[in-house]
Amino acid sequence: MKTALATVTISGTLKEKLEAAAAAGFDGVEIFENDLTQYERSPREVRKMADDLGLEIIALQPFRDMEGMPERLRQQKREMLKRKMEVAHELGTSRLLMCSNVQSYASGDRDQCAADLRFLAEMAEKEGMTLGYEALAWGYHIADYMDAWDLVKRTDHPNLGINLDTFHMYSRGNTLDCLRDEIPVDKIALVQIADAPIMPRQDYLTYSRHSRCFPGQGDMPVVEFLQVLKDKGFDDYLSHEIFNDEFRSSSPIAKAIDGMRSLIWLDDQTVSKEETKTQPVTVPDVKDIEFIEFAVEGESGEELIKTLAQLGFHETHKHVSKNVSLMRQGNINLILNREPASQAHEHFQKHGVSVCALGFLTENVKETLRMAERYRAERFANQAGPGELNIPAIRGIGDSLVYLVGANSRYRFFDVDFVEIEGIKGEQGVGLTRVDHVGQTVSNVDFLSAGFFYKSIFGFEIEPRQDLPDIHGLVVSRTATNKDKSVRIPINMTNARDASAERFMKKAGGSGVHQIAFACKDIFAAVKNMDQEKQLPIPDNYYRDLEARLGLEPALVKKLKEHNIMYDENEAGAFFHCYTEEICGVFFEVVQRVEGYNNYGESNAYVRLASQARQELK
């Protein structure tokens, strides 16, 4: 598979875009005409720059409203294409891409349109060029790729092929039947592959300009599309052409790496004729969250430690050589890292007291690392002392790390690198058993990337988005989970400058963990044993609504109210949960799941968000 990126996909100058594409490992680029027009260097210089970076310029695009035009405009379009082919020669590309006409005054006569395209194809033949014709989803007469193929067939010229764009195809509900049964590989001029969330039928142009994303980040069946191409023996370029507001306002190299990661993922989901289905790509089997590591320094983390103590945690172990301690309860491991020469220290310098790393328990560390490298994750070089564990790690969300801990070891990580603190007899606690979920907040430009990080590298599923009403705006959330939901990572973002997610970003200095939820078997017993000084108060109106809405017994409602416990239920089971106030940018939740309840109490989120906002004001 050869990979390419249309320069319109990412931000920056044309030079920055080419450098980002090369750094991410792309083989080629499509030059979007606006990028070239506004650039100060000549097309020949752009070609040399691409050559020096090891990039092939695979196409110049787009050329609009080329067919079915009135006579005066028809001649103008022909002259324009003649001049643009001169530019294409200077760029060193032999492909030009045309879009279906969107003008209401254009002719819909297929024979006339075919005659226009044939004339242009003959011009291209003389110049050694190939033209690709694409159906825009909002084209006036040609909007479906099947109709574009009909026009290409009518034109019947070797220098004209069809350009296939998954966004335009799927946004209109097109099937793959025409591609599967009719279009030969040698008539495919170029393939542009994009994804998007499925939305109700709407203004296609607005949908296209703002909602596209990389394959695997949306809901379109892009895997099926590529499988059909592979079944037909297609081996040319797969190119991204993405219009996305967030992409165009974020780091070009970060988005280019995202784009390459998505094409690798897409390739891994499909099988070519030469491959066999008996050799699937291995998906790492992440079993649990083995530990959560906090960056603290000096006395700065005392408020955090006090809150954890109120939740029943105590420092049970000290590291053998570093200023690092461990707090345990049930199967929960919380690391407090005060070591001055460490990644945790660097994280503290940027973000203050915060979660600097997660430890994933995985069946095959070596295979997980291989997948991380394949998907362009950055390896972190850890420093371990003599005889200490050297747990491998990769760069995660924001400035955090993800450590990979072997699930089949005879020893836990703290058996090797830590010693028990004298005077601590056994594990103390209030009945918390394990980490239920860990919430992360990211910027709006990194929301899709964060979910795809877990999906591509770890094989997590990304659950449908949830809209959480905040008193200052809307918070959007999607949860990444492993197969059995033993690892759950809700990812939040907002476009509202004063909503809770944005307030966290400002306080924390960027993306990070904002929530940690601990599971228990009996939340009433746990809360009874907890110091409730830092518990988040819930208004009485919530409990009146709860009683009326769900018909709960008054005795249960009274018990919930006494302990600020919230409640939700569905056909699968029930959910009890309560919160601490925010401490150092993070808040803790205690949850009890009854039977098969797998949600997160989303119906209560607006009350919790309002309570947290009030608490911040205090």
The tokens describing 188, both together, are 């495919």
DSSP state of 371: H
Which CATH code fits 432-617? 3.10.180.10
- Residue 200: cis peptide before it, omega within 30 degrees of 0: no
Please say whether the beta carbons of 405 and 394 come within 8 A. Answer: no
Rounded average pLDDT over 586-615: 95
Segment 442-467 shows an average pLDDT of 94
How far is it, in rounded angstroms, from Cα 346 to Cα 395? Answer: 14
Residues 6+ apart with CB under 8 A from 378: 394, 395
Euclidean distance between CA atoms 362 and 614, whole angstroms: 40
Please tell me whether 589 is known to bind a ligand. Answer: no
Contact criterion met (CB below 8 Å) for 557 and 566: no
Nearest to 500 by CA among 525, 536, 526: 536
Over range 467-484, report the average pLDDT: 94
Segments making up each domain of the chain, as ranges: 2-268, 286-420, 432-617
Please report how many Cα atoms fall inside a 13 Å half-sphere around the Cα of residue 68, on the Cβ side. 21
CATH of 286-420, one of 3.40.190.10, 1.10.760.10, 3.40.50.720, 3.10.180.10: 3.10.180.10
- Digit-coded pLDDT (tens) for 404-446: 999 988 889 998 889 999 876 555 789 999 999 999 999 999 9
Query: 70: pLDDT confidence band, cut at 50, 70 and 90?
Result: very high
Lowest-confidence segment of 298-307, 313-322, 393-402, 551-560 by average pLDDT: 298-307
Spatial separation of the C-alpha atoms in residues 329 and 30, rounded to whole Å: 55
* Residue 274, annotated as binding a ligand: no
Over range 495-503, report the average pLDDT.
Answer: 93
Q: Are the CB atoms for 100 and 132 separated by under 8 Å?
A: no
What CATH class does 2-268 carry? alpha beta
Nearest Cα to 479, choosing from 370, 601, 581, 385?
601
**Taking residues 474-493, what's their average pLDDT?**
96
> Which is it for strands 466-470 and 473-481: parallel, antiparallel or unpaired?
antiparallel
Q: How many CB atoms lie within 10 A of CB 292?
A: 20
532 is in an annotated binding site: no
Annotated ligand binding at 202? The verdict is: no
Tokens of 568: 């939700």
Edge-first strand order for the sheet with 354-362 is 379-380, 393-395, 401-406, 354-362, 286-295, 332-337, 324-329, 314-319, 418-420
Least confident of 211-215, 528-532, 586-590: 528-532
Q: If you compute the radius of gyration of the chain from its CA atoms, what whole number of angstroms results? A: 28
242 touches 194 (CB < 8 A): yes
Q: Would the CATH topology of 2-268 be identical to that of 286-420?
A: no
Terminal-residue alpha carbon distance, the chain: 57
Torsion of CA 390, 336, 576, 402, to 10 degrees: -30
Q: Are residues 219 and 195 in contact, defined by beta-carbon separation less than 8 angstroms?
A: yes
